[in-house]
Structure formats: structure tokens, C-alpha cells
A and B are shown apart, each in its own frame.
Chain A
Amino acid sequence: DVKVTQSSRYLVKRTGEKVFLECVQDMDHENMFWYRQDPGLGLRLIYFSYDVKMKEKGDIPEGYSVSREKKERFSLILESASTNQTSMYLCASSLGGNNEQFFGPGTRLTVL
């Protein structure tokens, strides 16, 4: 079974703090994705990576950056957290070629 884990289930941070969200997958998947999910707005893609050190912007990259130094790990970074970044953050990975993405359990981030 594919396993995607996220470093925290719940996180509370203060405005202006630097925030790291970590995602690890154990199935040697090529692609990894970061989404945020907000009521009424569905799943929105922030960034994705199709290879180590490769990244592409998704639909809403502003205020975020990512890092993929190893194949199994994809980090989402909020350089200076703001209250409008309070959300559910979901990481996913896929093997490549069959479109099937597998999601982690999510991190609910609250920025005060």
C-alpha cells in the first residue's frame, strides 16, 4: 500500500513565522503535490514536483515555496505566515503515467 505521511496533523503558528510542512512517501513515486483545501473552494494546487530538485507552480503559488532534495520528501514552506494561509494542507504523490494520486492525512494549519 502507498503511504504518504505528513509531519503534523494540526499546527498553530503566529503571523510572520516561517512554517515548514513536510511530506514523505514510501513508494518511490516520481511526482509530488501540495494542495490547500478551503470550504467552498475545493482542492487548489499550490506547487508540484515531477523529479528531485524540479518544481512547478500550481494555481496559487503566491506566499509559498517548496523544496524537493530527495525523491521521497517534498516540503512546503510559508516564508512569512499570514492569517489568510489558515487552511487544510494536503500532500499527494503519484507514480507517473496513470494519473493516480495518493494523499496524506492532511495538516490543518491555523495562523493567528
Chain B
Amino acid sequence: GQQLNQSPQSMFIQEGEDVSMNCTSSSIFNTWLWYKQDPGEGPVLLIALYKAGELTSNGRLTAQFGITRKDSFLNISASIPSDVGIYFCAGPEWNYNTDKLIFGTGTRLQVFP
């Protein structure tokens, strides 16, 4: 079945550093979504990508839809303490028009002052 592999599993960085994480799929996706989950809260949609090669920004966050349609990348520039949380990628499951998603396992980000 479809799988999403997310890396790295966790990151420990200094405030001000840039962060990169990625997500790869065993199959082609036509949509990539990136979510952030704060501790004890529900995931929040950060960025949605709909076209191969698309590059989209949301403040200090930039996400790209890979050309092969099998991967996506999320970058965070100049990290701050409130960037702490778990970042998930997600993509639609095959043959569903009900918005059913597959989620990556998440990248846990820790930012030290």
C-alpha cells in the first residue's frame, strides 16, 4: 500500500538556525499537505501544494512539491522557540474522492534558545 517516509524523525536545533525536512512516497501524489502539531493540540494545516514543482511560502515556512511527485520538502528559516512541535506531511490515498489522507510519521522539532 501507499507509504510516506518522513525524515528526520527528530531535530534539535539552536534558535535562529534554518531547518529542512522531507517526505517521500512509494507512489505519485497529486497533493502534498504539511501540518504542525503543538504539544497537546490538534494538527494545524500550514501549507498545501497542488502542482509538481510548486514552491509555496507561509511566513518563514517554505514547502516544495517535488518534480517526481513522490516527494516534498519543508524548510523553516530563522527558527524561533514557538516552532517547537511535530511536523507531518500528508497526501491523498489512492482512488478516493473523500479527502482521505495518508500521514507521515512526523518530524519532532526542538528549538533551544
Q: Footprint of B on A, CB under 8 Å?
A: 4, 31, 33, 42-43, 45, 48, 50, 56, 90, 92, 94-106, 108
Number of A-B contacts (CB under 8 A): 58
Instruction: Give min CB distance, B10 to chain A, whole Å.
Output: 12
B97 is contacted by which of A97, A101, A108 (Cβ under 8 Å)? Answer: A97
Check A103–B42 contact: CB distance below 8 A: yes
Most buried by B among A43, A48, A97, A108: A43
Consensus secondary structure, chain A interface: strand
CA distance A94 to B101 in the complex (A): 11
Check A108–B99 contact: CB distance below 8 A: no
Inside 8 A of A94's CB, which chain B residues have their CB? 99
Inside 8 A of A97's CB, which chain B residues have their CB? 97, 99
20 contacts between A and B (CB under 8 A): A31-B99, A33-B100, A43-B43, A43-B103, A48-B100, A50-B98, A90-B43, A92-B42, A98-B31, A98-B48, A98-B99, A99-B91, A99-B99, A100-B45, A100-B48, A100-B99, A103-B35, A103-B44, A105-B42, A106-B41
